[in-house]
Amino acid sequence: MTAEEEQSAETVEAAEQPEAPDTDWEQEAAKWKAQAEDNQNKMLRAMADMENLRRRVRKEQEDLAKYASLKIVEELLPVLDNFERALAADREAMTVESLLTGVDMVYRQMVQVFEKEGLQAIEAKGQPFDPHIHQAVMQTQDPDFDSGVVVEELQKGYQFKDRVIRPSMVKVNE
């Protein structure tokens, strides 16, 4: 081979060599592009799953709030039935005593339902005044009670589990 032919052959080989790496790079780029598309699809699916989860949780919370009082309403239905029976009773045969007995029974039934759910009456009379559970509306001077003690309960207060929902309105000894 002549020097020109050798140089020409080297030029041809040199021209072929860059093509081989270009092919490897193209394959590598195609592989990374496919992986990026796969990751993009996975991310979009995960985002859609998260949005579905948010919607489902929001719906469950709305249903929970909507039907939160269902249990207590169900427990109060017998009380309502007893009131209806009392109203439908024969007024001619009813005595004041039988009416009071019936009202007392319905009252106790209602109190049991509320207590079962966590409602408690706040004890007031004879207790030291506590501004967290009592609302003082009057003061008096009573020698039978110490200073700062509740003398009289004007309106009953209630506590639901550990939260005061209505403080007792009381008269406090000076």
**pLDDT (tens digit, 9 = 90+) per residue, 24-82?**
899 999 999 999 999 999 999 999 999 999 999 999 999 999 998 899 999 999 999 99
User: What pairing do the DSSP bridges indicate for beta strands 168-173 and 150-155?
Assistant: antiparallel
Q: Taking each helix axis from N to C terminus, what angle separates 96-117 and 70-88, rounded to the nearest 10 degrees? A: 180
* Matching CATH number, 120-174, of 1.10.287.130, 1.10.510.10, 3.40.50.12280, 2.30.22.10: 2.30.22.10
Which amino acid is present at 37? E
**pLDDT (tens digit, 9 = 90+) per residue, 70-124?**
999 999 999 999 989 888 888 888 888 988 998 999 999 999 999 999 999 999 9
Is the pTM for the entire model greater than 0.85?
Answer: no
